Amino acid sequence: MGGEPVRSALWRGDADDALGGSASALREQLQPYLATLLHAAAEQGTPVLRPLRYHFPDDPATYALDHQALIGAWLMAAPGDSRKVYLPAGRWYDWWSGAPLEGPTQLLPIAQAGRPPLYARAGAIIPCRPGRGQPLRLEIFPGDGALTLSADSLPGETDDLCLRLRADGDRLRLIVCAHAGRQPVQFRIHGVAPEAAQAFPGAHYDAGRRALAFTLDAAGPACQLVFALEHA
């Protein structure tokens, strides 16, 4: 994936180009997230694809960047060429490994076929689909964030799902405000400590990614879940 697709996609709002021509599996995986962005664009006029200065107007280092793009507010894509990637201030997570990264910084990602550089901001709650026919999965990255899904923003997936995410010291609080979905929803919480799995029987802890995966039933009452975070 070269720099030109990202630069031209900024002005067309084309998230497919920003993700790169060889990343068809990733585009398929992110379709639920892209669907929510398209719904917001139609309802509120917010662009799907955004230059970094859109969300970081006080960072002069973002002004001339035309080879990186934000996909919505929570994901950043970059070309897998020889150029460095700039991460603005705050914590970011490598989408592929779950590794935390502290901005502002520059890094040179290792390009892999079908895996363009992609980073999630702290507090991101990204709806995605791991594979065809599989349940909706929410990729959650520690920080302060929120997500509201409805039958309008994600047709056929959920009737009502409202989440709030709060980082509180060494704890992460996930508040499920409402859940009236038609199908179970998978959650994968990144950056949590191994002991977090002890409070969730049946959950799976991935030590390599430092992530906890579990499933909520198709519908349930409001609740608050608390996770121990790994030490920075």
Over the chain (232 residues), the average pLDDT of each successive run of 10 is 48 56 78 92 93 96 92 92 92 95 94 85 94 87 93 68 93 85 84 88 91 82 88 64
Compute the distance between CA of residue 51 and CA of residue 218 in angstroms, rounded to an integer: 37
- Determine whether 97 is exposed, middle or buried from the number of CB atoms within 10 Å of its CB (0-12, 13-18, 19+): exposed
pTM of the model: 0.88
Compute the distance between CA of residue 27 and CA of residue 219 in angstroms, rounded to an integer: 28
pLDDT at 55: 96
pLDDT at 73: 96
Residue-by-residue DSSP string for 1-21: --HHHHHHHHHHT-HHHHH-T
Which structural domains are found in the chain, ordered by start? 3-121 (2.60.40.1180), 125-228 (2.60.40.1180)
Separation of CA 94 from chain center:
10
